[in-house]
A and B are shown apart, each in its own frame.
Chain A
């Protein structure tokens, strides 16, 4: 190569080198773990509130990937996360049985609410019985927007149809809209088409584009939504940071974490109710 070949390469190298340096700027804490969790916990602002407390105490930084429950579990199954923190007990127990984690610990619960338009075409507003409300929606063929993304909320919704004695496969028609997206997108869609939707209360409280939507049904015991946490098994994936992951799980289910969860409020309302001490939850 001749002189100006080298000079050109040098110029390009300088061009490239400058932004690369900028990329490595974030200072690395002692250790960092990846937690695969759900959009509902993230969108409700829970992590923003509790994680700084945890990091300050332990020096462990936590990176949260917010996904649907099904996706979050898959992220753990591929070994791309150190901890999964989700809300679909049956799916979590399957994860456990497959050996991707050694133990599942209950953490907290929140509740789902059924939201719908003020005009209330199905006539379910103010009710306490979710099964009756769902039956009314089917009868009136009122628009219903479903996550349809295998998330914890989606699985809870499917379980609710089942418990209401409705064969969704047979009953579903144009009124049932499955959008395959996150909670926020689902609420945006419901707001735009004046439909009903099942949402966790945290996302609902944080959601700003409500339009005509209001809470139609709340308070039914069947609407309670249990969260569990699991450290990904080091037997499956030797690279997972077991010590830090265990430390996170213990803190979350211990008195400090439980208190932090209870302290997190939006507009004075508590979003999540710690119940790590409740066996079998």
Chain B
């Protein structure tokens, strides 16, 4: 790989002279942020509830969720594919090869991370807060909103981990999205495509762009966490 070729490709990409680059970035971010937000909406309350409740089978459930954090993306992709295929049980949605399918696949990938990290964080916090909240009659599900808000900065880290997994992922979105140009082509599937076309500088340039975006988001989240934590003590 020539450095010059890579630099030229990177300059072209960021200079906007490659048509369709920014839509790809927009779609990637849109899909992944939506997936992470949905996973947060479902996973954070679920994880918190799991942390503060006791029921038979709880340990098995926790171990299962922890294991699902390592679910191979292609497997997740395949399952969603079979579900959403016209011949599958959810085929009538007509979601296959649309951004909706990609969001669904990424939610499946991110949800276990969000649930597991939330559960861990809230359980630690719960040890400190339980008596005070019980004193205020906030027990069980009534304690969840307070605990989530108190853990907000730690949870942000968990969401970042989820974002990382979703945005870096190629197998699942390729299978369920179909890598359709202008419609379901994301940064990672575009990288896979350019690699297969042998255009390694362009693939690497796209990779660099993805890195820059991820880095930027992490810096942002880190800054928010830092400032927020200082202000909240």
- B228 at the binding interface (Cβ < 8 Å): no
Chain B residues, CB < 8 A from A207: 197-198
- B26 at the binding interface (Cβ < 8 Å): yes
Chain A residues, CB < 8 A from B41: 12-13, 15-16
Chain B residues, CB < 8 A from A22: 26, 29-30, 33-34
**Most chain A beta-carbon contacts within 10 A, residue among B97, B100, B179:** B97
0/1 string, B17-49, CB within 8 A of A gives 1 = 000000000100111011001101100100000
Nearest chain-B residue to A209 (Cβ)? B198
**Most chain A beta-carbon contacts within 10 A, residue among B26, B38, B86, B94:** B86
Q: How far is the CA of A208 from the CA of B100 in the complex (A)?
A: 33
Nearest chain-B residue to A7 (Cβ)? B145
From A23, A63, A183, A203, contact of B34 by CB (8 A): A23
- A121 at the binding interface (Cβ < 8 Å): no
For window 114-147 of A, CB contacts with B under 8 Å fall at none
Q: How far is the CA of A107 from the CA of B180 in the complex (A)?
A: 22
Q: How far is the CA of A5 from the CA of B144 in the complex (A)?
A: 8
Chain A interface residue count, CB cutoff 8 Å, equals 45
Check if B103 sits within 8 Å of A23, measured CB to CB: yes
* Closest Cβ–Cβ distance, residue B127 to chain A (whole Å): 21
Contacts known (A22-B30, A80-B96, A207-B197); A63 close to B178, Cβ less than 8 A: yes
* Closest Cβ–Cβ distance, residue A95 to chain B (whole Å): 15
Q: How far is the CA of A1 from the CA of B99 in the complex (A)?
A: 35
- The total number of A-B Cβ pairs within 8 Å is 109
0/1 string, B139-164, CB within 8 A of A gives 1 = 00010111011000000000000000
0/1 string, B186-225, CB within 8 A of A gives 1 = 0000000101111110000000000000000000000000
- B231 at the binding interface (Cβ < 8 Å): no
Contacts known (A16-B41, A23-B103); A239 close to B94, Cβ less than 8 A: yes
- A278 at the binding interface (Cβ < 8 Å): no
Check if B198 sits within 8 Å of A188, measured CB to CB: yes
Check if A65 sits within 8 Å of B97, measured CB to CB: yes
* Closest Cβ–Cβ distance, residue B178 to chain A (whole Å): 4
0/1 string, A201-242, CB within 8 A of B gives 1 = 001001111100000000000000000000000000101000
Check if B142 sits within 8 Å of A20, measured CB to CB: no
- B135 at the binding interface (Cβ < 8 Å): no
Q: How far is the CA of A68 from the CA of B152 in the complex (A)?
A: 46
Q: How far is the CA of A114 from the CA of B126 in the complex (A)?
A: 67
Contacts known (A15-B40, A78-B87, A184-B195); A64 close to B180, Cβ less than 8 A: yes
A-B contact pairs, 15 of them (CB 8 A): A13-B41, A15-B40, A16-B37, A39-B196, A48-B181, A63-B97, A63-B184, A65-B178, A65-B179, A80-B85, A80-B97, A188-B196, A191-B198, A209-B198, A239-B86
Chain B residues within CB distance 8 Å of chain A: 26, 29-31, 33-34, 37-38, 40-41, 44, 85-88, 91, 94, 96-97, 99-100, 103, 142, 144-146, 148-149, 178-184, 193, 195-200
A-B pairs, top 3 by smallest CB distance, nearest first, are: A184-B196, A209-B198, A79-B86
